[in-house]
Amino acid sequence: MSNWPEIEKKYFMPVFKRQPIVLVRGEGVRVWDENGKGYIDFVGGWAVNCLGHAHPVIVNALREQGSKLIQVSNQFYTIPQLELAELLVRNSCLERVFFGNSGAEANEGAFKLARKYGRMHLNGAYEVITVSGSFHGRTIAAIAATGQHKFQNPFVPLPDGFINVDYDSIAAIKSATTKLTCAVMLEPIQGESGVNIPNKAYFKQVREWCNEHGLLFILDEIQTGVGRTGTMFAYEQLGIEPDIMTIAKGLGGGVPIGAVMTKERASVFAQGEHGSTFGGNPLACAVGYAVIKYILENRILENVREVGGYLMASLNRLKSEFGFITEVRGRGFLCAMQFDRETGDEVVASCNELGLLVNRVKPNALRFMPPLITTKAEVDEAIAILRKALARVR
């Protein structure tokens, strides 16, 4: 058998902190490694595999569309692209769509829209206010927007025009707003920095501030969108509507696709001002269409709310059993467990050994992002493993 970690060490850029597992197959919420060992997958492709692994709806869409038309060019109309655009608009508060291939690329589209909007309507204003602890992707503009120095420092100088301010503080946004500001960009829940949920009033206050000053409110729903928090989009739970929303991850159920969506007034690109070779290709869009339709027609959002609540209750039960768990937080199937010590790696290693995949989102916290189809019985199995792993580090 090949030694894949050795091959990785020799040929691949050393950017990923890998777990010592080589995955080869998946079905539903389970995956198997090259030795045939099975795991319950609560990483879910990093909040991507919303219908789990090898779901027949996704496999059939791939097979059917793959045998018809995979890629042409955006010089031509293609039906899956337009069907998916219509479905997303009909099931959101946004009115226009552009497809790319990833989250970071969707955010790049949002930054460009904000700048163009500033040029058209705000005397050339170009600054986007973002917040500390945010994560918006790995392109050079997305790391400038990301409010975490560790992603920025090796790559300075970063593009101008991104102002990072304190999280969960309307006062910080107000004091950073100048005549150069064109937009405010937030995540409904900060996934990458540990499932941080701000004060609910915050989003309404930001919405009002943006309205008063004519600024665009951009929501990065790349992690929270497509059902992850129990509604199709998290903004539905915040009592506000964004002017621009970015999505990716769950949209293709594992096939790469991202989208920037806008209200009509924020849809300011003219012909030739944005584009993508692969973005909106028939294959990815046919899968995206199948995924969204399946979520809408099969009570998947109800499942996320019900089983997500059950997961939170189960995690809270563990909190009452283990004194070193300081907090459990989350919405739907985006949850975290915080420890009073930096024991995340140890718990993950034990979970791996016992057959559960979880993400160590911070040295002292775990994150759970199971497929949206996960059942209570699968949660029970995962919790039983987690309990054993926690008992080992007690």
Shortest separation between residue 222's beta carbon and ligand PLP, angstroms = 4
Cα–Cα distance for residue pair 322/383, rounded to 1 Å: 13
Q: Which of residues 228-287 bind ligand PLP (CB under 6 A)?
A: 248
293 among known catalytic residues: no
The residue within the footprint of ligand PLP, chosen from 191, 230, 288, 308 (CB under 6 A), is 191
Q: Which two tokens stand for residue 336?
A: 């975290």
Stretch that binds ligand PLP, among 100-108, 154-162, 235-243, 382-390 (CB under 6 A): 100-108
CA angle 48, 53, 55 (to 5 degrees): 110
The residue within the footprint of ligand PLP, chosen from 29, 94, 104, 184 (CB under 6 A), is 104
189 vs 390, beta carbon nearer ligand PLP: 189
Q: Which of 42, 135, 339, 368 is catalytic?
A: 135
Q: Which of residues 208-237 bind ligand PLP (CB under 6 A)?
A: 220, 222-223
Q: Is 47 left (phi over 0), alpha (psi -120 to 50) or beta?
A: left
Shortest separation between residue 279's beta carbon and ligand PLP, angstroms = 13
Q: Which of 203, 243, 249, 339 is catalytic?
A: 249
162 among known catalytic residues: no
**Residues found in the chain:** 394
Q: Which of residues 74-93 bind ligand PLP (CB under 6 A)?
A: none
Q: Give the nearest residue (CB) to ligand PLP.
A: 103
Residues contacting ligand PLP: total by CB under 6 A: 14
Shortest separation between residue 1's beta carbon and ligand PLP, angstroms = 31
Kindly state whether residue 187 participates in binding ligand PLP, applying the rule CB under 6 A.
yes
Kindly state whether residue 136 participates in binding ligand PLP, applying the rule CB under 6 A.
yes
Q: Which of 135, 132, 74, 123 is nearest to 99 (CA)?
A: 74
Residue 371 preceded by cis peptide, ω within 30: no
122 vs 261, beta carbon nearer ligand PLP: 261
380 among known catalytic residues: no
Kindly state whether residue 164 participates in binding ligand PLP, applying the rule CB under 6 A.
no
Positions that interact with ligand PLP (CB under 6 A): 102-104, 107, 135-137, 187, 191-192, 220, 222-223, 248
Catalytic residues: 135, 220, 249
